[in-house]
Structure 1
Amino acid sequence: MVTRYRNGWWLEQKYHREGWTQKQIADECAVSPRTIRKYMDRFGVETRDVRGENHGLYGETRSEETKAKISASLTGRDVDDAWRERIAAAHRGTTLPEDVRTKISETLEGREKSAETRRKMSESTAGEKNPAWRGGHGLYYGSGWTEARERVRDRDEVCQHCGNDGSDHLLDVHHLAPVRLFIESDDHDPSDAHFDENLVLLCRPCHIRAEWGAIEEYAPMDSIPDRISEA
Structure 2
Amino acid sequence: MSDWKPKRFWKEATVVADADGHSVALDGRPVRTPAKALLVLPTRAMAEAVAAEWDAQGKVVDPESMPVTRSANAAIDKVRPQHAEVAEMLAAYGDSDLLCYRADHPDELVARQSAAWDPPLDWAETELSARLLPAAGVIHRPQDPRALAALGRRVHAMSPYHLAAFHDLVSMSGSLILGFAAALDWDRPEAIWQLSRLDELWQEEIWGVDDEARTLAERKGKAFMHAKRFYDLAG
Q: Normalization by structure 1: what TM-score?
A: 0.25
Which structure has more helix as a fraction of its residues? 2
The higher radius of gyration belongs to 1
Q: Normalization by structure 2: what TM-score?
A: 0.25
Which structure has more strand as a fraction of its residues? 2
